[in-house]
C-alpha cells in the first residue's frame, strides 16, 4: 500500500518507567504478585475543568456506573491511596527526565510545575494523574529524517488493572506513582515501518541512559493514526514496540474501510437513524437461539432496531464498531441482519422481523437480546456511532489487541482536563545543574552501534538490536572479558528472545550470573549447545550457572570421555557401519550427539566420530584381506 499517497499520519506518545523510587513517595517502583490484604472501594464523578467544561471521555466513563476496588500491596503507602498528600517530588526522576530531554535536544523549562490531568477510568485513586512539562522542542533523527519531539513530560504511572466484572473494576496500587517519562512526537511519521523505526530509535535512546526500567510493561506507547479524510484515533497502551507497524497498518485499513462505507451510505441517501428499537420479543418466544433463550429466561426482551439503507455494510465493517458501543451499556453481543440467519436465529425469524419492521431491501436491522433497560441503553450508545458512519471516521481512543487490531474504548479526551496541582511545589531548574547533566550524558546509540561493529566484529544489525534492547552494556562487559563476541551477541539476542517467548524472565538474570555462564563455557565445563537449557534453568529458578549445570546434568566431558562414548555408539551401530561404510558418518554423528548434546562441543564430537569410524573401517578391511 502506498501510505504516503493515502496521507497517513502517525504520531507516537512513548511512556517509559524510570528506574528509581516512586514520584511522590518513597515506595519502591516494584510490582507485587501478592495483594497486601487491604482493599477499599471508590466511585468517581466527572467535574468541570477550570474552563468550565466537562470532558466527553469522563462523561462516558461515568455513564458506565462502575465502582473501583483497589488492592494495596507491600509496595504502597497512604500516598497511593490518596489518604496523604504527595511528598516532595523525586528529584532523581526529574534528573533522568532532564537527561532524556538533553539527549533529544529538547530545551528544559526553567520551572517544573505539576498539573492534575483528569482521569476517570479509576486508574488513579485521586481521579487525576500528576504530570509536568520538563522540556520542549526536541527531535529524533531516523534514516536522515527529523521527527519532532514537541514535549517531554514527567508523570506518575497509573494503577494496574487486575480484574473487571460487569459493574466493578479492580486495580492494584503497586504501579501507581512509578515515575514515567512521556515523549510525544509530531505526526510526521508517514508509513507503518517508519512508526516502528521511530519507536525503536526512541527506545534505544531511553535505554542508553541505563536509568529506565526494562521488561514487559515498562514501556508503553500510544499510537495516533489518521489517513486523509479519516480522523485521529489513538491506540492506547501498546506494549510491544515491534507490533507498532501492524497496529498502524490495521488502523489505516479500518479508516479506509470507514471512508468507503461513508461514501456508499451518502450515495444511498442514508442518514436518518431511528432513536430506539422496537420490542419484537413475541416473534422469538420459541427461538432455538441460545442467546435469545437465555435473555428471555431472565425476563429480558428482544429489541429490533432499524438501520435504513445500511444493508451489506455491517458484516466485517460497521458491525464490530456498533458491537463495541453496545458493550459500553454492558451488552455483550448483538445480531445484525447482514449475518443472519446464524447463531440459532432462523430464516423464518429473519423474515418475520423484516415484515414487522416493514424493511426495504437496502435496510438492515440489529437485534439486541438482553434485559430491557440494558437493551435500550445499548441502542442509545450505538445510535450516535451509526449516525457518524455517514460522515466517516469518528475520533476515538482504542484498546490494542494482541493480534495487532484494536477495539473502541472511549471518545478521545479533550483538552479541558488539566488544572494546577496545589499540593506539589514548583521545582526550579538551575543552569549549573543542567550544565553538569549535559557533561555526563551517555554515549548515543548512533555512536554506540558503529563502535560495537568495529570493536567486536559483530554484524551491524546485531549491534543495532543490542542497543535497541539496552543489552549493549552487558554484551560489552562479557565480550570484553571472555571474547567470543559473536556468540555472546547471539545468546543475548537470539536465545534470549526465544526464552522470552516461552514466558521466562531472562532479563531478570543478574549480570554476574551471565558472566559466570560464559566463564564456565570458556573453561569448557560444558559446550555452547547447552546454553539455552542452562539459561532456561537460570531464569526459572533464579540460580547461578554452576548450579544450573549441576541441576540439569550438564557437565563438561574431556576427550577420553567423548571417545569412550563414541565407541559405545559405534558398537551399538555395527549394522549401519557394515552396510554403509564411510557413508554412515552422518547417521553416527546424529546418534552420538543425542547423547552428547550440551556436554561436548559439536565440532569435537564430529572429529572423534570421523576418526573412530575410519579406524574401524580400516580394521575391517585388514580383516577381510586376512581371510
**Which residue's CB is nearer to Zn ion, number 123 or number 448?**
123
23 contacts 179 by C-beta, under 8 angstroms: yes
Considering beta carbons, is residue 70 or 496 the nearer one to Zn ion? 70
Give dist(CA 617, CA 584) in Å, integer. Answer: 11
d(CA 376, CA 305): 10
Q: Give just the sign of the alpha carbon dihedral 201, 245, 403, 258.
A: positive
Tell me whether residue 24 or residue 247 sits nearer to Zn ion (CB atom): 24
**Closest approach of Cβ 44 to Zn ion, in Å?**
20
For cell 565407541, name the residue.
567
Which residue, 25 or 302, has its beta carbon nearer to Zn ion? 25
Q: 25 vs 493, which CB is nearer to Zn ion?
A: 25
Which DSSP letter does residue 581 get?
G
- 62 near 69, Cβ under 8 Å? no
Q: Which is nearer to Zn ion, 42 or 315 (CB)?
A: 42
Among 262, 197, 200, 176, smallest CA distance to 227 is for 262
CB of residue 118 to Zn ion, shortest distance in Å: 22
Cβ closer to Zn ion: 27 or 103? 27
Shortest reach from residue 16's CB to Zn ion, in Å: 20
Count other Cβ atoms within 10 Å, centred on residue 153: 21
DSSP 8-state symbol, 146: E
Distance CA 111, CA 433 (A): 13
Q: How far is the CB of 22 from Zn ion (least distance, A)?
A: 6
CA distance 180 to 137: 19
Task: Considering the complex, state which of residue 77 and residue 593 has its C-beta at the smaller distance from Zn ion.
Answer: 77
φ, ψ of residue 183 to 5 degrees: the values are -115, 120
Closest CB to Zn ion among residues 27, 485? 27
Supply the minimum distance, in Å, between the C-beta of residue 25 and Zn ion: 3
What are the residues binding Zn ion (CB under 5 A)? Answer: 25, 27, 77, 79-80
Q: CA separation (Å) from 74 to 30, 34, 37, 168, 539? A: 9, 8, 9, 23, 24
Minimal distance, residue 173 CB to Zn ion, in Å: 8
Q: How far is the CB of 87 from Zn ion (least distance, A)?
A: 8
C-alpha span between 3 and 613 (Å, rounded): 61
Shortest separation between residue 121's beta carbon and Zn ion, angstroms: 21
Q: At its nearest, how many Å lie between Zn ion and the CB of residue 518? A: 39
Q: Which is nearer to Zn ion, 36 or 150 (CB)?
A: 36
Taking the least distance from each CB to Zn ion, the nearer of 178 and 378 is 178
Tell me how far apart the terminal alpha carbons of the chain are, to the nearest angstrom: 76
- C-alpha–C-alpha distance, residues 108 and 154, integer Å: 12
Name the minimum Å distance from CB 156 to Zn ion: 11
> 322 near 366, Cβ under 8 Å?
yes
The Cα 138–Cα 117 span in angstroms is: 23
Angle value at C-alpha 497, between 495 and 502, nearest 5 degrees: 95
| Nearer Cβ to Zn ion (81/109) | 81
Min CB(24)–Zn ion separation in Å: 8
Contact indicator for 2, 252 with CB cutoff of 8 Å: no
Q: What is the DSSP string of 90-138?
A: -HHHHHHHHHHHHHTTPEEPSEE-EEEEE--SSSSTTSEEEEEEEEEEE
Which residues, in sequence order, are CB contacts of 438 under 8 Å at separation 6+?
102
Determine the longest span between alpha carbons in the chain, in angstroms. 109
Nearer to Zn ion, 80 or 472 (CB): 80
Q: Is 551 helix (H, G, I), strand (E, B) or coil?
A: helix
Place of cell 500491596: 73
CB of 93 to Zn ion, least distance (A): 14
Side-chain half-sphere exposure of 332, counting CA atoms within 13 A: 8
Q: How far is the CB of 73 from Zn ion (least distance, A)?
A: 10
Amino acid at each position: 500500500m502506498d501510505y504516503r499517497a493515502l496521507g497517513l499520519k502517525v504520531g507516537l506518545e512513548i511512556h517509559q518507567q524510570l528506574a528509581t523510587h516512586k514520584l511522590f513517595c518513597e515506595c519502591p517502583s516494584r510490582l507485587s504478585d501478592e495483594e497486601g490484604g487491604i482493599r477499599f472501594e471508590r466511585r468517581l464523578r466527572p467535574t468541570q475543568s477550570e474552563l468550565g467544561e466537562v470532558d466527553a471521555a469522563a462523561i462516558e466513563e461515568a455513564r458506565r456506573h462502575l465502582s473501583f476496588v483497589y488492592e494495596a500491596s507491600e509496595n504502597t503507602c497512604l500516598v497511593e491511596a490518596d489518604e496523604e498528600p504527595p511528598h516532595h517530588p523525586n528529584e532523581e526522576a526529574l534528573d533522568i527526565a532532564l537527561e532524556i530531554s538533553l539527549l533529544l535536544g529538547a530545551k528544559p523549562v526553567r520551572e517544573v510545575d505539576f498539573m492534575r490531568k483528569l482521569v476517570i477510568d479509576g486508574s488513579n485513586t485521586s481521579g487525576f494523574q500528576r504530570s509536568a512539562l520538563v522540556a520542549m522542542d526536541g527531535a529524533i533523527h531516523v534514516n536522515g529524517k527529523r521527527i519532532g519531539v514537541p514535549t517531554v513530560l514527567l508523570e506518575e504511572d497509573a494503577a494496574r488493572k487486575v480484574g473487571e466484572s460487569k459493574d466493578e473494576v479492580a486495580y492494584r496500587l503497586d504501579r501507581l506513582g512509578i515515575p514515567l517519562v512521556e515523549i510525544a512526537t509530531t505526526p510526521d511519521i508517514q508509513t507503518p515501518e517508519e512508526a516502528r523505526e521511530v519507536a525503536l530509535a526512541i527506545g534505544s535512546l531511553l535505554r542508553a541512559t541505563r536509568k529506565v526500567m526494562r521488561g514487559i510493561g515498562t514501556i508503553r506507547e500510544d499510537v495516533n493514526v489518521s489517513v486523509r479524510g479519516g480522523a485521529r484515533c489513538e491506540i492506547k497502551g501498546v506494549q510491544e514496540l515491534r507490533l507498532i507497524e501492524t497496529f498502524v497498518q490495521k488502523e489505516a485499513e479500518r479508516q479506509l474501510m470507514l471512508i468507503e462505507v461513508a461514501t456508499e451510505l451518502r450515495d444511498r441517501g442514508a442518514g436518518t437513524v431511528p432513536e430506539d428499537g422496537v420490542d419484537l420479543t413475541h416473534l422469538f418466544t420459541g427461538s432455538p437461539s441460545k442467546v435469545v433463550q437465555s435473555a428471555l429466561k431472565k425476563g429480558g426482551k428482544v429489541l429490533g432496531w432499524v438501520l435504513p439503507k445500511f444493508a451489506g455494510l455491517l458484516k466485517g465493517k460497521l458491525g464490530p464498531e456498533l458491537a463495541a458501543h453496545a458493550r459500553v451499556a454492558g451488552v455483550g453481543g448483538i445480531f445484525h441482519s447482514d449475518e443472519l440467519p446464524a447463531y440459532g436465529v432462523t430464516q423464518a425469524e429473519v423474515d418475520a422481523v423484516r415484515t414487522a419492521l416493514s424493511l426495504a431491501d437496502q435496510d438492515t436491522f440489529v437485534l439486541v437480546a438482553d434485559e430491557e433497560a440494558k437493551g435500550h441503553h445499548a441502542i442509545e450508545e450505538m445510535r450516535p456511532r451509526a449516525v457518524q458512519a455517514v460522515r466517516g471516521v469518528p475520533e476515538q481512543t482504542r484498546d490494542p489487541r494482541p493480534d495487532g487490531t484494536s477495539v473502541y474504548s472511549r471518545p478521545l479526551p479533550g483538552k479541558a482536563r488539566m488544572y494546577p496541582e496545589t499540593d506539589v511545589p514548583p521545582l526550579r531548574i538551575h543552569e549549573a545543574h543542567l550544565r553538569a547533566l549535559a557533561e555526563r550524558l551517555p554515549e548515543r546509540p548512533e555512536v554506540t552501534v558503529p563502535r560495537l561493529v568495529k570493536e567486536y566484529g559483530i554484524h551491524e544489525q546485531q549491534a543495532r538490536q543490542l542497543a535497541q534492547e539496552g543489552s549493549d552494556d552487558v554484551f560489552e562487559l562479557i565480550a570484553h572479558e571472555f571474547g567470543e563476541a559473536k556468540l555472546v551477541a547471539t545468546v543475548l539476542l537470539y536465545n534470549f528472545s526465544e526464552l522470552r517467548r516461552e514466558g521466562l524472565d531472562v532479563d531478570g538474570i543478574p549480570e554476574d550470573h551471565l558472566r559466570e555462564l560464559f566463564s564456565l563455557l570458556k573453561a569448557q565445563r560444558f559446550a555452547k549447545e547447552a546454553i539455552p537449557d542452562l539459561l532456561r534453568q537460570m531464569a526459572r529458578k533464579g540460580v547461578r550457572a554452576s548450579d544450573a549445570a549441576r541441576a540439569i546434568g550438564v557437565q563438561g566431558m574431556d576427550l577420553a570421555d567423548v571417545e569412550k562414548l563414541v565407541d559405545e555408539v559405534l558398537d551399538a551401530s555395527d549394522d549401519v557401519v557394515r552396510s554403509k561404510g564411510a557413508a554412515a558418518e552422518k547417521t553416527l554423528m546424529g546418534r552420538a550427539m543425542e547423547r552428547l548434546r550440551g556436554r561436548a562441543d559439536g565440532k569435537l564430537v564430529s572429529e572423534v566420530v570421523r576418526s573412530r569410524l575410519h579406524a574401524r573401517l580400516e580394521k575391517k578391511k585388514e580383516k577381510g584381506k586376512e581371510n
